[in-house]
Amino acid sequence: MFLSSNHVLYRLDTKNYRYLLLPVEDRAEMSNIKVLANNNQVKTINVRLASEYADYYVPLDLSKYAGHELILDIHINGNIRNEGAIKEWACWKQMKYSDTFDIANREKFRPEYHHTPAYGWMNDPNGMFYKDGTWHLYFQHNPYGSLWENMTWGHSSSKDLVHWKYEGDAIEPDALGTIFSGSAVVDKNNTAGFGKGAIVAMYTSAGENQTQSLAFSTDNGKTFTKYAANPVITSNVPDFRDPHMFWNDDIKKWNLILAAGQEMNIYTSDNLKDWKFESSFGHGYGDHNGVWECPDLMKLKVRGTNKDKWMLICNINPGGPFGGSATQYFVGDFDGHKFTCESAPDVTKWMDYGKDHYATVTFDNAPEGRHVAMAWMNNWQYAAQTPTTQYRSANTVPRDLDLFEYEGQTYCGVIPSKELIAMRGKKQNKLSNACELVLNIKGSSSVTLSNDKGEKVVLTYNESKRTFSMDRTKSGKVDFSEAFPVTTTAPVYGKLKQLRIFIDNSSIEVFDAEGKMAMTNLVFPITPYNKIVKKGKIKYAIYKM
Ligand code: FRU
């Protein structure tokens, strides 16, 4: 029923089908869809319904509303002059019922051993925790398109941090807002009263203001119930988000850190519901050329000593060393109430010197006291333009964090998690689309990775300048954004002896094997790099991944 130039009521058949497949066109204007079940609004989503041509389909799950009278109340922000009367839009003929939704991969750039959403847009990793042999990863998901929208916590799980299974969406938007980033903890002692061993998540409800809400799970993170008395933390600061909770054994309380404008606020709690503001950190410290987001705070060992120190992670966008998004960190002391940075305020430290490493946070409750981090392998400068359609964005490989000292400063050590060694397949002579390249180097040297199309990436170690760089200006598809073709350069602390280079269909991550340098960059070669040319004293081995 077309009721006006921008309003449609669309009655659905819920009896016979599992899904309505919605045709999406990324260039089309936004349609705001209210799902009405027996006259009540049960869901709202924003979808770019195809006006001319469906780029792809997304599934609207009807099974939840079986037996209800269901109507889509659709407001279309279409421009009649440019796109024609909405009656003529392609979507009406192309919508279809189905009992299945095909998530078989259609993308050549989809990584083989990095986590990606089965379909739709992804940004930050959220609520990561480990329990009973399983790693859980939630993520900022748009289940209704490959651009940022409808923020929902998607869920994937893994036994080995490499093979991920999509578990569906775990936390969906509600009347308080869409579900922005946050964290989850395993409440072993039932401090919150949701049950022993319950998973308790806190996320930002992004409504008219940003507030913090709780949800809990008593089935190991599969399904969540929202806490009835949400929100649990409010503020009049406009950018107020991304709560990260953790148990602090030093003070036998829960701590929480969240981004509040250009600072990080710290809180304490006994029960995960009532939070007391303690202090804030950040004024005048580090890089402030962007919004502070997605914090984390943890106690880490300083390598080769018997010292522990605290590290505060602060993701910032823009303001990164090569433009756009990046992860900075501060090392110091934390007494459960206040974080004190040990470096001078003007010292800025970056965890990864590539362009595609953002929203880095760690898993709660990881075994053996490990601090395992994963980042969103993208950059807000061009995340919406990267050349994939079925899905957008991957996570980095998992990395174990520690600290090391060098020339009077303490830095974050970043080592590819040991699970990646177990993924090494056969040694091979040539590069391939998914492999690990291990370089043993002596002194200044370089390697060029290239394909038959002449696309290449140049990796250069300059021992006297103490730098390592990656040039992706001719790496393949680079013209989707002016901000993409760049060379990234990292400081090297000490001498590089061995590099571990993880190559996947659309990414290259380089690590100093000793964990003193990390560099993560996307690349989109038309065909995989299959040749190596080396300069200097280099020996290498290639493992299939
Ligand atoms: C960081 C971020 C977070 C926010 C989320 C929304 O990339 O902006 O601060 O919670 O993305 O998707």
φ/ψ of 544, rounded to 5, equals: -65, 145
Cβ proximity of 163 and 220 under 8 Å: no
Which residue out of 55, 124, 400, 512 is catalytically annotated?
124
Cβ proximity of 137 and 155 under 8 Å: yes
Q: Is 116 inside any structural domain?
A: no
Q: Is 113 inside any structural domain?
A: no
- Assess whether 370 and 438 both reside in one domain: no
User: Cβ neighbours of residue 71 under 8 Å, at least 6 residues apart?
Assistant: 9, 10, 11, 12, 35, 36
Return the residue whose CA atom lies nearest to atom 9 of ligand 1.
293
Cα 161 to chain centroid distance, Å, stands at 14
- Assess whether 136 and 208 both reside in one domain: yes
Q: What is the torsional sign of CA 111, 115, 119, 124?
A: negative
Q: How many Å apart are CA 319 and CA 315, to the nearest integer?
A: 10
Tokens of 470: 């990656």
φ/ψ of 367, rounded to 5, equals: -70, 160
Rg (CA), the chain: 24
Q: How many Å apart are CA 137 and CA 123, to the nearest integer?
A: 12
- Report CA(181)–ligand 1 centroid distance (Å): 6
φ/ψ of 266, rounded to 5, equals: -120, 135
Summarize pLDDT for 184-222 with one digit per residue, the tens. Answer: 999 999 999 999 999 999 999 999 999 999 999 999 999
Domain that holds residue 438: 424-544
- Assess whether 89 and 130 both reside in one domain: no
b/e code 99-115 from CB counts within 10 Å (16+ = b): eeeeeeeeeebbbebbb
Q: Is 105 inside any structural domain?
A: no
Q: How many Å apart are CA 229 and CA 452, to the nearest integer?
A: 60
Task: Mark whether 124 is an active-site residue.
Answer: yes
Q: Is 108 inside any structural domain?
A: no
In the predicted model, is pLDDT for residue 80 greater than 90?
Answer: no
The confidence score (pLDDT) of residue 83 equals: 66
Give me the residues paired with residue 33 across strands. 45, 74
Cβ proximity of 14 and 66 under 8 Å: yes
- Any ligand 1 atom below 6 A from CB of 205: no
Q: How many Å apart are CA 542 and CA 545, to the nearest integer?
A: 9
What are the percentages of helix, strand and coil residues in the chain, rounded to 5? 5, 50, 45
- Assess whether 444 and 404 both reside in one domain: no
Helices (runs of H) and strands (runs of E) counted in the chain: 3, 39
Domain limit, last residue, from 416, 439, 473: 416
- Assess whether 80 and 159 both reside in one domain: no
- How many C-beta atoms surround the C-beta of residue 238 within 10 A? 10
- Assess whether 357 and 462 both reside in one domain: no
Report which of 199, 232, 194 is spatially closest to residue 213, judged by C-alpha positions: 232
Domain limit, last residue, from 416, 445, 472: 416
Cβ proximity of 298 and 285 under 8 Å: no
Mean pLDDT of 385-396: 98
Mean pLDDT of 96-119: 97
- Assess whether 15 and 142 both reside in one domain: no
Atom of ligand 1 nearest to the CA of 239: 9
Reduce the DSSP state of residue 64 to 3 states and report it.
helix
Confidence of residue 82 (pLDDT cuts 50, 70, 90): low
Atom of ligand 1 nearest to the CA of 180: 10
Confidence of residue 89 (pLDDT cuts 50, 70, 90): very high
Edge-first strand order for the sheet with 198-206 is 178-187, 198-206, 210-217, 225-226
Q: Is 111 inside any structural domain?
A: no
User: How much is the mean pLDDT over the chain?
Assistant: 97
- Assess whether 382 and 233 both reside in one domain: yes
- Assess whether 128 and 200 both reside in one domain: yes
Summarize pLDDT for 212-247 with one digit per residue, the tens. Answer: 999 999 999 999 999 999 999 999 999 999 999 999
Confidence of residue 79 (pLDDT cuts 50, 70, 90): confident
- Assess whether 180 and 301 both reside in one domain: yes
- Report CA(116)–ligand 1 centroid distance (Å): 17
Q: Which of 294, 315, 328 to mutate to test the pocket of ligand 1 (most atoms within 8 A of CB)?
A: 294
Q: What is the torsional sign of CA 149, 152, 153, 155?
A: negative
Cβ proximity of 503 and 490 under 8 Å: no
Return the residue whose CA atom lies nearest to atom 6 of ligand 1.
180
CATH of the domain at 431: 2.60.120.560
The full DSSP string for 468-485 is EEEE-TTSS--TT-TTSS
Q: How many Å apart are CA 389 and CA 428, to the nearest integer?
A: 31
Cβ proximity of 257 and 317 under 8 Å: no
The confidence score (pLDDT) of residue 207 equals: 97
Return the residue whose CA atom lies nearest to atom 8 of ligand 1.
293
- How many C-beta atoms surround the C-beta of residue 226 within 10 A? 18
Atom of ligand 1 nearest to the CA of 242: 10
- Assess whether 263 and 402 both reside in one domain: yes
CATH of the domain at 161: 2.115.10.20
- Any ligand 1 atom below 6 A from CB of 140: yes
Tokens of 453: 């199309």
Domain limit, last residue, from 360, 395, 416: 416
Q: Is 60 inside any structural domain?
A: yes
Cβ proximity of 224 and 217 under 8 Å: yes
Q: Is 152 inside any structural domain?
A: yes
Reduce the DSSP state of residue 486 to 3 states and report it.
coil
- Assess whether 215 and 267 both reside in one domain: yes
Q: Is 103 inside any structural domain?
A: no
State the total domains in the chain.
3
Edge-first strand order for the sheet with 152-158 is 165-171, 152-158, 134-142, 120-131, 391-392
Reduce the DSSP state of residue 497 to 3 states and report it.
coil
- Report CA(331)–ligand 1 centroid distance (Å): 24
Tokens of 391: 């899905």
- Any ligand 1 atom below 6 A from CB of 147: no
Summarize pLDDT for 109-129 with one digit per residue, the tens. Answer: 999 999 999 999 999 999 999
- Any ligand 1 atom below 6 A from CB of 60: no
Confidence of residue 530 (pLDDT cuts 50, 70, 90): very high
Q: How many Å apart are CA 181 and CA 375, to the nearest integer?
A: 13
Summarize pLDDT for 467-501 with one digit per residue, the tens. Answer: 999 999 999 999 999 999 999 999 999 999 999 99
Report which of 261, 255, 128, 249 is spatially closest to residue 182, judged by C-alpha positions: 128
Tokens of 388: 């994939």
